[in-house]
Amino acid sequence: DGGITQSPKYLFRKEGQNVTLSCEQNLNHDAMYWYRQDPGQGLRLIYYSQIVNDFQKGDIAEGYSVSREKKESFPLTVTSAQKNPTAFYLCASSKGEVGNIQYFGAGTRLSVL
Amino acid sequence: GDSVTQMEGPVTLSEEAFLTINCTYTATGYPSLFWYVQYPGEGLQLLLKATKADDKGSNKGFEATYRKETTSFHLEKGSVQVSDSAVYFCALNTGNQFYFGTGTSLTVIP
């Protein structure tokens, strides 16, 4: 079945540590996105990528980094510079054309130890 | 810039009640509009969409009509069920990005 897989489902970060969240899709989508969701709030865009080897900052990119070396994969690293990383992180993908549906993974919940 | 404003929650309804969740948008150009649903601990799932003015999206008894004159895309359901309890997000797409509302939490009680 086609879809988006995020792993792990739960992740814990120690002080000063970088952690990487995985996102893989087998939908053959060009565009991929990372969002952060805090309790009672909407989705805030961290980074997005329209094509392999290219990505753009979203509204809250500080303290995060990404790579897009393969069409199927768009990992997100939460660096030690992100001082408040506790949140629910959602990865999404779409064909990249206007009007196309955005498909979401099941999310990764990141907490700080 | 482009944005979505949706009704704040939480909303609590009795089973079989009528549901309306308001959504208005601001956009340049001609956006596509979406409603997504999120169940606890999960990602978002598409509920319905509309790509041009006067289009009506519908799915699982939910409906929303793309109203360009009022820049609105209100979600409605005639008779809600306990299983409809979730958070609902209105969203628009123009160009490369999607813009989401803050979400409306719905609880349906038996």
- pLDDT 10s digits, A10-39: 999 988 899 999 999 999 999 999 999 998
pLDDT for the residue numbered A1: 65
| pLDDT given at position A39 | 83
- A101 part of contact set with chain B, CB < 8 Å: yes
Least confident of A95-99, B2-6, B25-29, B90-94: A95-99
Partner A contacted by B96 (CB < 8 A): yes
Per-residue model confidence (pLDDT) at position A42: 85
Q: What is the mean pLDDT of chain A?
A: 93
Residues whose CB falls within 8 Å of the CB of residue B2, separated by 6 or more in sequence, listed in order: B25, B26, B27, B28, B31, B92, B94, B97, B99
Quick check: B66 contacting A, CB < 8 Å?
no
pLDDT in tens, B56-101: 999 999 999 999 999 999 999 999 999 999 999 999 998 778 999 9
**DSSP state string for chain B:** --EEEE--S-EEEETT--EEE-EEEE-SS--EEEEEEE-TTS-EEEEEEE-STT-EEEETTEEEE-BTTTTB--EEESS--GGG-EEEEEEEEETTEEEE---EEEEEE-
CA–CA min distance B38, chain A (Å)? 10
